[in-house]
Amino acid sequence: MSETFSDDSDDEIPPVDLTIFVYVEKPNPPRTAKGKVEESDRYAQKGPFKLGSNDSYATFLRKVSTALPCPILHIIEEKISWKPQTPQNAKPLPMGAATGYSTMIDALKAKKVGARVGIVIMPPPKKPDEDMVNLLHICSFKSTLMLFLQFWDADGSGKAIEKGFDFSELEFRSTGDSIVQQKARGKNSPSRKYSYSYSRSALIRPLLPSFRS
């Protein structure tokens, strides 16, 4: 008499592609006459990017940092929340690092094809530490390389990102703002946009003479 054994692996959902949007919260968004805030005034939208349902939380953070863009360490992880794109009245849930990330993945991959879309909501990333470059001048050569990769390798590719998060996107602009005014504001106010456009050679070159001597 033969026995039939069930294979639980057949019940597992194979890895699927998910679509993720990143909404960065704008400080002090304007309100309408009725006291409401329009979605476009509430968030700066980034992405979307593709995320595999079997991707790790670390991979998720790398993709978020690339979408913003900013170093991973500037992402305020403890304040990240998420919600599915549908239904539209879904309330954001705290991610809580890897634990909440697994919950988001399970919820999105269970949806039908075309509806596997998630929205990640987060505060603006931390602004670059102006002392970072100065710190590199007093570190050992090996420590400098480690710090450089830790802070500037946003997507894990080993390449420095060319620019940082544009904080001017979080500013409210009225419909009366002209394109010329916006360009002038960007040129005359470099402090509004924090750039990470430091190459490896630019950071490491000041240290080389000390090793040649």
Give a yes or no: residue 60 inside a domain.
yes
Q: Is residue 131 scored above 50 in pLDDT? A: no
Rounded CA gap, 192 and 67, in Å? 19
User: Which residues form the domain of 57?
Assistant: 14-122
Give a yes or no: residue 110 inside a domain.
yes
Of 91, 122, 153, which closes a domain?
Answer: 122
More confident site: 38 or 193: 38
| Nearest alpha-carbon partner for 152 in 198, 204, 92 | 198
Same domain, 27 and 112: yes
Q: Is residue 184 scored above 90 in pLDDT? A: no
- Structurally, the chain folds into a number of domains equal to 2
Same domain, 28 and 109: yes
pTM (2 d.p.): 0.65
More confident site: 35 or 85: 85
Q: What's the CATH code of the domain at 43?
A: 3.10.20
Q: What is the pLDDT of residue 37?
A: 75
Q: What is the pLDDT of residue 178?
A: 41
Q: What pLDDT, in 10s, does the model give residues 145-176?
A: 555 555 455 555 555 555 688 888 888 765 55
Q: What is the pLDDT of residue 164?
A: 83
Q: What is the pLDDT of residue 200?
A: 45
Q: Is residue 139 very low, low, confident or very high in pLDDT (cuts 50, 70, 90)?
A: low
Of 97, 122, 147, which closes a domain?
Answer: 122
Same domain, 102 and 168: no
Q: What is the pLDDT of residue 136?
A: 53
Of 87, 122, 157, which closes a domain?
Answer: 122
Same domain, 70 and 139: no
Same domain, 39 and 76: yes
Same domain, 24 and 110: yes
Q: What pLDDT, in 10s, does the model give residues 54-105?
A: 999 999 999 999 999 999 999 999 999 999 999 999 999 999 888 899 999 9
Same domain, 140 and 114: no
101 with 1: CB under 8 angstroms?
no
Same domain, 47 and 97: yes
Give a yes or no: residue 151 inside a domain.
yes
Q: Is residue 26 scored above 80 in pLDDT? A: yes
Give a yes or no: residue 7 inside a domain.
no
Give a yes or no: residue 112 inside a domain.
yes
Give a yes or no: residue 2 inside a domain.
no
